[in-house]
Amino acid sequence: MKYRILRFLSFPSVPPRSSGYAEYFSRLPVLETPSLILRPMVMKDAEDIYVYSSDPEVARYVLWEPHRSVRDTRMYIRYIRSLYHNGLPSSWAVVLRETGRVIGSVGFMWVSEENSSAEVGYSLSRQYWNRGYATEALSAVLRSAFSVLPLNRIEAQRDLRNPASGRVMEKCGMHQEGTLRSRIYNKGEFIDVVLCAILRSDWENAVLPG
């Protein structure tokens, strides 16, 4: 499988040098929200993750291709776990408290220590869309990152045709900064990308969900 996993609209991951970053990413904290628990992925999550990662609708506006079998999903989890092992930016499994099942993922695409900046991304199982879960998950990640890491700016990018994702960013206090025309070539076409970001000062002054 060609691997461009959960690296939606991202730059190559730059290994963060400071021990603070490496320590954080090697032991991702468990984050709790009213409906969700965000925790590191484990191999046992493969069946749950396959459910949404194999859905072409979920993969429509992200850079990765739908998983063709649970074997692809296991490779993906192995890759994520290698990122944990190496203290590199990676993703949490999003667990629905009510069922204990993994319904999505959220995480960091890259971190630039030089610029004190990072990029986040997220995906959820279609069955659970429009219940506020992505907003809960992203808010928890932003809260944790700004509390623990010396980040000044956290970005997110989305396909212009994906307004639901834009709404999640907006609800989490991210500001829309511009549209980058034909920014990337994905799934056979050039796509326009909307760049959003939240600064530490925005975060400190915002009244946000959760």
Ligand X SMILES: CC(C)(COP(=O)(O)OP(=O)(O)OC[C@H]1O[C@@H](n2cnc3c(N)ncnc32)[C@H](O)[C@@H]1OP(=O)(O)O)[C@@H](O)C(=O)NCCC(=O)NCCS
Residues of the shown chain interacting with ligand X in the complex, contacts defined by CB under 6 A:
8, 58, 61-62, 121-124, 129-135, 158, 162-165, 167-168
Which backbone phi and psi does 103 adopt, to 5 degrees?
-115, 0
CB atoms within 10 A of CB 173: 20
**For ligand X, which is the closer residue by CB, 68 or 85?**
68
Output 117 or 162, the one with its CB closest to ligand X: 162
User: What whole-number distance in Å separates Cα of residue 166 and Cα of residue 182?
Assistant: 18
Neighbours of 7 (CB within 10 A): 17
**Residue 164 C-beta: closest distance to ligand X, Å:** 4
State the minimum distance, in angstroms, from the CB of residue 130 to ligand X. Answer: 5
CB of 194 to ligand X, least distance (A): 9
Neighbours of 23 (CB within 10 A): 12
Under a CB-based contact definition with an 8 Å cutoff, are residues 116 and 153 in contact?
Answer: yes
Nearer to ligand X, 18 or 35 (CB): 35
At closest approach, how far in Å is the CB of 188 from ligand X?
A: 17
**Short-list 137, 141, 136, CA closest to 118:** 141
> What does the block give as tokens for 74?
């296991």
Least Å from the CB of residue 142 to ligand X: 13
Pick between residue 114 and residue 178 the one whose CB is nearest to ligand X: 178
DSSP per-residue letters across 22-89? HHHHHTPPPEE-SSEEEEE--GGGHHHHHHHHT-HHHHTTSSSPPPSSHHHHHHHHHHHHHHHHTT--
CB of 171 to ligand X, least distance (A): 6
**Which of 90, 123 has the CB closer to ligand X?**
123
Q: Which is nearer to ligand X, 148 or 206 (CB)?
A: 206
